[in-house]
């Protein structure tokens, strides 16, 4: 587990305010709603779980050299079925929109600092 | 003026409110982060490292050796001597006082940034930094 730094009170307050503000923003609020809809939809969650398993199985077969055309067609059919589910499609779209919005905010933070805040936060110590 | 109001959808009309709120919060957050001892130490260390001619020379020597060996290293064909020389140059660079100070300051700031990222990510429901750096380390 990564070590945790102590956040000074003023910085913690500013980070909490930014988090609350982002939470209320249209892209993040829409993402959270879409996520809640997905979490509540057993069929959609089951479909995603099945898709993840089928994808992992495909990669395993590819590594083993036992992949067949039928395996690929089966995964593609599962993918198409998943993306035609409105809850899954809505979640994927909301996620993309939210992910597309955050770099704008990082840019604002980073402009003030003179370095990329997100890159600094994401960089693993071994990178 | 009236015409614009009539043609703008309610969602678009509300956008400036949340947008300006987030932007203000982002700027306030950036300003607060720039006031931390970690950030100030990082800035000082960076300037010292940048202006340290000996450290810069050691870095150039390491980078030049790394560049010239890159094809061999990628193929796993570099000899033990070549790898040892590269490591010696890396150690020489890392041993410079301004480099040590810079690395330590960067590590502290990165740790603080990661802790804040966890706080922000928990609040919004997904990784803030990860969303901004989708290709970091593959």
* Per-residue pLDDT band at B14 (split at 50, 70, 90): very low
Å between B79 CA and nearest CA of chain A = 24
Mutate to test the interface with B, among A27, A117, A119 (most CBs of B within 10 A): A117
What is the least distance, in Å, from the CA of B3 to any CA of chain A?
Answer: 25
- Report how far residue A52's alpha carbon sits from residue A48's, in angstroms, rounded to the nearest whole number: 6
What number is the average pLDDT over the span A57-84? 89
Identify the pLDDT of residue A124.
63
CA dist., res. A35 & res. A94, Å (int)? 9
Query: Taking CB atoms and an 8 Å limit, are B132 and A118 in contact across chains?
Result: yes
Give the tens place of pLDDT for each residue, B64-109. 999 999 999 988 989 999 999 999 999 999 999 999 999 999 999 9
Chain A 74-93, residues with CB within 8 Å of chain B CB atoms: none
Q: Do A118 and B116 touch (CB under 8 A)?
A: no
pLDDT at residue A122, rounded to an integer: 86
Q: Which of A15, A102, A123 sits opposite B131 (nearest CB)?
A: A102
Question: Hey, which residues 45-64 in chain A have their CB within 8 Å of chain B?
Answer: none
| Residues sharing a CB contact under 8 Å with residue A57, sequence separation 6 or more, in sequence order | A71
Print the SS3 string covering B94-131. Answer: HCCHHHHHHHHHHHHHHHHHHHHHHHHHHHHCCCHHHH
Exposed, middle or buried by CB within 10 Å (0-12, 13-18, 19+), for B138? exposed
């Amino acid at each position: 587990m990564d070590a945790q730094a102590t956040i000074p009170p003023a910085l913690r307050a500013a980070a909490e305010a930014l988090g609350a503000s982002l939470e209320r923003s249209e892209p993040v609020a829409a993402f959270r709603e879409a996520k809640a809809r997905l979490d509540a939809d057993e069929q959609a969650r089951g479909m995603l779980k099945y898709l993840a398993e089928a994808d992992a199985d495909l990669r395993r077969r590819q590594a083993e050299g036992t992949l067949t055309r039928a395996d690929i067609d089966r995964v593609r059919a599962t993918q198409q079925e998943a993306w035609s589910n409105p809850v899954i499609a809505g979640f994927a779209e909301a996620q993309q929109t939210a992910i597309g919005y955050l770099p704008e905010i990082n840019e604002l933070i980073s402009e003030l600092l003179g370095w990329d805040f997100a890159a600094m936060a994401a960089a693993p110590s071994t990178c | 003026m009236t015409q614009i109001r009539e043609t703008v959808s309610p969602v678009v009309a509300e956008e400036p409110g949340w947008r300006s709120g987030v932007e203000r919060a982002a700027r306030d957050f950036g300003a607060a982060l720039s006031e931390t001892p970690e950030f100030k130490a990082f800035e000082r260390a960076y300037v010292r490292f940048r202006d340290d001619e000996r450290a810069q020379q050691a870095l150039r020597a390491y980078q030049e050796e790394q560049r010239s060996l890159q094809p061999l290293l990628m193929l796993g064909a570099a000899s033990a001597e070549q790898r040892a020389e590269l490591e010696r140059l890396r150690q020489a660079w890392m041993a410079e006082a301004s480099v040590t100070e810079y690395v330590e300051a960067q590590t502290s700031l990165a740790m603080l940034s990661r802790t804040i990222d966890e706080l922000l990510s928990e609040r919004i429901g997904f990784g803030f930094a990860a969303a901004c750096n989708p290709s970091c380390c593959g």
